Structure 1
């Protein structure tokens, strides 16, 4: 019984102890649970805040990247407007926008300083931005220093440059990386919210004893819910803003593309207009030559007619006097032919090729043109001091430039005064005159004693379409074209002018080394003796009966056997009836069809037959494609020139060329 009682007592004591310890255990459990819940709630809140902070940083980086992209695109659009309008305010606006873009890039660099996986992209973006800045600043400088065409060409190249594509690609990489990081951080926010919600559910199971813990958990849950809702609202706002920014960038890109196309069209239209105005300016100068040319041409015709008439009277009784009169008539005819060729060559509009030119000989040949252009009331003095130095220019463009300077001088002197044209030699060091490199230069000076120019006019004198002449009296393209020609030849142009004291225009062109034999040949104008050929059957196609008879007689004099053809449609039949024809001489301009058209229409059996074209218009000989490689002889020509042309044609030469008439 005692043992039983002791066992019951022990059991009761254990139960009593258990009852005493149970509240303590419950309290410990509650406190531990509360501590665990508090710790879990605190940890979840910290994770949530950290995830939200990372989200905000990603949004900030994306916004900075989009803003930098938009600011860069706006700056390039402003630069395009500056290149087109030449407005200094637009240029300064471009500089402000570009500096603002640089500031945004620095902010982006600072925002990504702690993200090693973005550092490489941002550093590469900085380098590409610096390279792009150098390119755009160069375009701006070219535009500022009035090199608009060069700036337009450079801007066209910059539109498809590697650095622009590199900037766009790097921005896309930065944004894509941040979007991927943003998705990870959004998942972290979601997980933190789920943990908070789990704590709230667990706290409700503790009952009233854990009411405080439940309240705290609910409070944390409420905060987390608000933060997540705020984060979602911010994310939606940023997404909407990013969409608007992307749409704006696309719109700006479309505007820039449209502006670039308009710029290309305006450049093409302006080039065509300038070319038309240049030709109109040249033809205006040709029109001013008309009176003087008619006077000189009539004088030459008087020499020809008088010489022939006197030779006709004296051919039997005084053959020596007749020969002298015939020589005078031939000299007058040659001078008239040279004058006609010079006028036609000057008036043509085709593009020309540069060659070595003797400036002294060039001015000597232009003396008559200059006299006829500026009138008899202006005294012209030439000083030839180039002493055999040559320049490498397009001769006709150089003639046009000199004639333009003379016309400007005439207008400055109001048609009465003294004009001086000087050529000379100059040896320059680097930087002595503008951008001229060190070396030998030929200096051409055109000076007058006219009204001169003010300092304001001198600063704008090379601007296209700028002129001080009344409306209808000038295009404003003369000096700008001369400036472009001189720069293309690696030379410089300088103008010295004093109001009321006159103006001097100095042109420096690099010296061109020329072989002595070539210079002597061109200077003497000698022709090689023609290679003698046996009597040859030649078909002569000419619609003018007088020219046809003269050509037949000349060929007979050279020992050949000509066959007359007065219309190009008869050529094929005459070739069929005369199988021994070895050469065709054809005029270029004829009724119904031209000479080249007639040759193309001949049967294939005559495709290899040599052809010599004859023309009296200098412009005909420029389109070598129509002549298919055959030689061209200009009217009027001498027997020696005709013999040389026949020698070349009968020798089988099939390259484009022009046989020059003897003067």
Structure 2
């Protein structure tokens, strides 16, 4: 009985190892078939993948039944089941994207899945199951050998007893003979099991060879797929560059025509009709402001415009924008608000968020052809990891804009975030609205989601991370913006101007003189320390952000050791290399292009706040602009 139990345990270990190796092969085969399906998009190949993946699940259930008497193996199989389910979700997402003709997305997901943790976990857990069973098998094989040894010793004892008892009892001799026969039967059984083990080892070797061939084929197909992906990426880059170049050239040429024409007419009318010349100058300023707005949209889409975030209550912000939205979209559209954020705050750039809401309202107005209902909602939501796009797990405030317009068909919906893509007539839109919002939400570590149905309307939802505000902190309401009248306007300040562009340096110098200050020019950040050493009355540093050899924040960090109390005003038009808002923490920031009025306001803020206040958004003035 002991020998039979040992042999049965040995067979059970071989069976567990065989099931584990077969499961590994089935998973590899199903992923190989999925790769073929992603490349070929053949539905029959997709169904074959589903069949193989279900087969792997059945093998996993069989493995669980065979190992339920081992606590250690049961724990490993439970982890293996979790990894299998996680891997199944990843592969099903790839198959689903392929079924909906999202081949590029499916290829990208498959490439990511090849490096996913779930795949390495499955391989690791299967190896652990096999290793554990090999250890058990070694012990059980030793138990078989020990049982045979004990059986042989017992047979020898029987023979000795038989010889002793043979003299007096023939019956004892018969018993000894029976014992010998039992031993021979046991040996034959052991030899038969040994042959079965050898056959099993051959089968495992053959299966391993098949898996190696399948893996090699999968590697070749992966290399071909990578090459195809690279070719597609290059084609998409060229297409995007062509589309972007054409859109920028069209819009900027229109705006430059307004600026150049307005200035030319103003020069002709300057002495004959000053009032008429003033109107042309105002038109030129409007064209320059439109060019500045286009630049901001491009930077937002590229995630290169620096954010100046603050703690905001979304309900307060939307209440403050209701009148502006009403005036923008017209009287025939009814605006409804549903506010359920219940005090949750967000950490965003107020100007960017207001611009995004206004863009969404204008898009909704155009979709409804000027008549319908616009609903703006706020609500709280808790998301799991990647439940919406690439969002991490946590609390989010959702700002939704829903219209009752015409909706978008699937082909338009898939291209909604492309720059310069628009379904509006020529001259009615640049196609940068949603792409700008996409860039802004990405900078805020959030996500944008669109739901649309033709004939029923569209809802755009902005998922913005919740900002946890300490009990000691206070948040200013949306209507508490400082005005020019409340800001201190100091004059007669000796100001160091650090700017590498001579034209901008000259324009800034003249603007400061116009405001009654005493500017000191510095055309390279490396000269700032020497100039400060010879001008001990400098009360403010105005510095560009991106300059040769050294950025503005780097220069200020170096000067802080020797001049810790001089206020700083940063001026920026593009901050692609220093887009982290922490680089500007504690300093006023002025965006290019700016007017003399906004320059005066920014100087007053910098002198009043010193290093105590974060950078604030500049206001648009109506005087001459200083541009980069």
State the shift of 1:297 in Å: 2.5
Could you list the per-position Cα deviations for residues 294-325 of structure 1 after superposition, in whole angstroms to 9, with x for gaps in the alignment? 123311332234235434445xxxxxx44x74
Unaligned runs of at least 5 residues, structure 1: 1-49, 110-117, 315-320, 366-379, 407-417, 430-434, 466-477, 497-502
Query: Contact 2:19–2:63 at 8 Å: present in 1 too?
Result: yes
Tell me, yes or no, if structure 1 residue 180 matches structure 2 residue 139. Answer: yes
How many residues are paired up?
A: 537
Query: Contact 1:441–1:508 at 8 Å: present in 2 too?
Result: yes
Residues 464 and 237 (structure 1), Cα distance of their counterparts in 2 relative to 1, 3 Å cut: farther
2:520 is matched with which residue?
563
1:657 is matched with which residue?
615
CA–CA separation in structure 2 for the residues paired with 1:361 and 1:600: 38
State the shift of 1:646 in Å: 1.0
1:301 is matched with which residue?
260
TM-score (norm 1): 0.59
1:194 is matched with which residue?
153
Which among 261, 282, 302 is matched to residue 349 of structure 1?
302
Q: Give the 5 Å matches for 1:212-251.
A: 221=180, 224-225=183-184, 227-228=186-187, 230-232=189-191, 234-235=193-194, 238=197, 241=200, 245=204
Which among 468, 493, 511 is matched to residue 554 of structure 1?
511
CA–CA separation in structure 2 for the residues paired with 1:249 and 1:100: 17
Residues 144 and 421 (structure 1), Cα distance of their counterparts in 2 relative to 1, 3 Å cut: farther
State the shift of 1:70 in Å: 1.9
Which among 305, 326, 329 is matched to residue 281 of structure 2?
329
CA–CA separation in structure 1 for the residues paired with 2:578 and 2:294: 14
Which among 58, 61, 65 is matched to residue 99 of structure 1?
58
Tell me, yes or no, if structure 1 residue 73 matches structure 2 residue 32. Answer: no
CA–CA separation in structure 2 for the residues paired with 1:344 and 1:273: 29
Query: Contact 1:193–1:225 at 8 Å: present in 2 too?
Result: no
CA–CA separation in structure 2 for the residues paired with 1:426 and 1:304: 42
CA–CA separation in structure 2 for the residues paired with 1:222 and 1:172: 38
Q: Report SS of the residue matched to 1:653.
A: coil
CA–CA separation in structure 2 for the residues paired with 1:229 and 1:550: 104
Could you list the per-position Cα deviations for residues 580-611 of structure 1 after superposition, in whole angstroms to 9, with x for gaps in the alignment? 11222234456676555655665942355333
Q: Report SS of the residue matched to 2:516.
A: coil
Query: Contact 2:512–2:518 at 8 Å: present in 1 too?
Result: yes
Q: Which has the greater radius of gyration?
A: 1
CA–CA separation in structure 1 for the residues paired with 2:238 and 2:572: 24
1:643 is matched with which residue?
600
Q: Report SS of the residue matched to 2:461.
A: strand
Query: Contact 1:444–1:508 at 8 Å: present in 2 too?
Result: no
Residues 387 and 549 (structure 1), Cα distance of their counterparts in 2 relative to 1, 3 Å cut: farther
1:540 is matched with which residue?
497
State the shift of 1:180 in Å: 3.5
2:9 is matched with which residue?
58
Query: Contact 1:385–1:423 at 8 Å: present in 2 too?
Result: yes
Query: Contact 1:382–1:422 at 8 Å: present in 2 too?
Result: no
Unaligned runs of at least 5 residues, structure 2: 39-45, 98-104, 380-386, 389-395, 419-433, 467-474, 622-628
Q: Give the 5 Å matches for 1:28-427.
A: 50-78=1-29, 80-81=31-32, 86=38, 87-106=46-65, 118=69, 134-139=85-90, 141-146=92-97, 156=116, 158=118, 176-177=135-136, 179-200=138-159, 203=162, 221=180, 224-225=183-184, 227-228=186-187, 230-232=189-191, 234-235=193-194, 238=197, 241=200, 245=204, 281=240, 284-285=243-244, 287-313=246-272, 321-322=274-275, 325-326=277-278, 328-330=280-282, 332-347=284-299, 348-350=301-303, 385-386=334-335, 424-425=374-375
CA–CA separation in structure 1 for the residues paired with 2:29 and 2:331: 51
TM-score (norm 2): 0.62
CA–CA separation in structure 2 for the residues paired with 1:218 and 1:171: 43
State the shift of 1:200 in Å: 4.1
Which among 516, 535, 540 is matched to residue 583 of structure 1?
540
Residues 527 and 74 (structure 1), Cα distance of their counterparts in 2 relative to 1, 3 Å cut: farther
CA–CA separation in structure 2 for the residues paired with 1:428 and 1:130: 39
Residues 273 and 598 (structure 1), Cα distance of their counterparts in 2 relative to 1, 3 Å cut: farther
CA–CA separation in structure 1 for the residues paired with 2:205 and 2:493: 81
Residues 104 and 614 (structure 1), Cα distance of their counterparts in 2 relative to 1, 3 Å cut: closer
Could you list the per-position Cα deviations for residues 158-184 of structure 1 after superposition, in whole angstroms to 9, with x for gaps in the alignment? 4577x9988876776666456535533
1:432 is matched with which residue?
none
Query: Contact 1:381–1:419 at 8 Å: present in 2 too?
Result: no
CA–CA separation in structure 2 for the residues paired with 1:495 and 1:122: 51
State the shift of 1:579 in Å: 1.3
Q: Report SS of the residue matched to 2:594.
A: coil
Which among 567, 592, 602 is matched to residue 610 of structure 1?
567
Query: Contact 1:539–1:563 at 8 Å: present in 2 too?
Result: yes
Query: Contact 1:358–1:389 at 8 Å: present in 2 too?
Result: no
Query: Contact 2:376–2:400 at 8 Å: present in 1 too?
Result: yes
Q: Report SS of the residue matched to 1:535.
A: coil
2:531 is matched with which residue?
574
Q: Report SS of the residue matched to 1:581.
A: coil
2:402 is matched with which residue?
443
Kindly indicate which of the two structures has a greater share of residues assigned to helix: 1
Q: Give the 5 Å matches for 1:504-515.
A: 506-509=458-461
